[in-house]
Structure 1
Amino acid sequence: MDLFTDSINSDEENQNRAKRLLASSFVRISLFMNRI
Protein backbone atom coordinates (compact mmCIF):
# COMPACT_ATOMS: atom_id res chain seq x y z
CA MET A 1 0.00 0.00 0.00
CA ASP A 2 2.79 2.42 0.89
CA LEU A 3 4.66 1.61 -2.32
CA PHE A 4 1.49 2.20 -4.32
CA THR A 5 0.82 5.59 -2.73
CA ASP A 6 4.50 6.53 -3.12
CA SER A 7 4.36 5.78 -6.83
CA ILE A 8 1.18 7.87 -7.16
CA ASN A 9 2.83 10.75 -5.30
CA SER A 10 5.92 10.60 -7.53
CA ASP A 11 3.69 10.59 -10.63
CA GLU A 12 1.91 13.71 -9.36
CA GLU A 13 5.27 15.36 -8.66
CA ASN A 14 6.48 14.52 -12.17
CA GLN A 15 3.28 15.93 -13.68
CA ASN A 16 3.63 19.13 -11.63
CA ARG A 17 7.27 19.45 -12.70
CA ALA A 18 6.30 18.93 -16.35
CA LYS A 19 3.54 21.54 -16.06
CA ARG A 20 5.98 24.00 -14.50
CA LEU A 21 8.53 23.41 -17.28
CA LEU A 22 5.81 23.79 -19.91
CA ALA A 23 4.54 27.02 -18.35
CA SER A 24 8.02 28.53 -18.04
CA SER A 25 8.89 27.66 -21.65
CA PHE A 26 5.53 29.09 -22.80
CA VAL A 27 6.26 32.33 -20.94
CA ARG A 28 9.71 32.51 -22.53
CA ILE A 29 8.23 31.97 -26.00
CA SER A 30 5.53 34.62 -25.48
CA LEU A 31 8.12 37.11 -24.20
CA PHE A 32 10.33 36.34 -27.20
CA MET A 33 7.40 36.84 -29.60
CA ASN A 34 6.48 40.14 -27.94
CA ARG A 35 10.08 41.35 -28.31
CA ILE A 36 10.00 40.85 -32.09
Structure 2
Amino acid sequence: YPLKAVKVMHSVALRTELSTFGATISSNSATSAK
Protein backbone atom coordinates (compact mmCIF):
# COMPACT_ATOMS: atom_id res chain seq x y z
CA TYR A 1 0.00 0.00 0.00
CA PRO A 2 1.07 3.63 -0.45
CA LEU A 3 2.04 5.27 2.82
CA LYS A 4 -0.72 7.87 2.53
CA ALA A 5 -3.39 5.18 2.20
CA VAL A 6 -2.02 3.44 5.29
CA LYS A 7 -2.17 6.67 7.29
CA VAL A 8 -5.73 7.36 6.17
CA MET A 9 -6.87 3.84 7.00
CA HIS A 10 -5.17 4.06 10.39
CA SER A 11 -6.77 7.39 11.31
CA VAL A 12 -10.20 6.17 10.18
CA ALA A 13 -9.85 2.98 12.21
CA LEU A 14 -8.68 4.98 15.20
CA ARG A 15 -11.62 7.36 14.95
CA THR A 16 -14.08 4.48 14.64
CA GLU A 17 -12.52 2.70 17.59
CA LEU A 18 -12.59 5.86 19.70
CA SER A 19 -16.23 6.64 18.93
CA THR A 20 -17.25 3.04 19.63
CA PHE A 21 -15.26 3.13 22.87
CA GLY A 22 -16.85 6.45 23.89
CA ALA A 23 -20.35 5.16 23.12
CA THR A 24 -19.70 2.05 25.20
CA ILE A 25 -18.44 4.13 28.13
CA SER A 26 -21.36 6.58 28.04
CA SER A 27 -23.93 3.78 27.83
CA ASN A 28 -22.18 1.94 30.66
CA SER A 29 -22.12 5.00 32.94
CA ALA A 30 -25.74 5.78 32.06
CA THR A 31 -26.73 2.23 32.99
CA SER A 32 -24.82 2.29 36.27
CA ALA A 33 -26.24 5.73 37.12
CA LYS A 34 -29.78 4.34 37.11
TM-score normalised per structure 1: 0.85
Q: Which runs of 4+ in 1 moved over 6 A?
A: none
Q: Which runs of 5+ in 2 are unaligned?
A: none
**Higher Cα Rg, which structure:** 1
CA RMSD between the two structures:
1.3
Aligned to 2:10: 11
SS of residue matched to 2:2: helix
Q: Which runs of 5+ in 1 are unaligned?
A: none
The 2-side partners of 1:8 and 1:14 are apart by 10
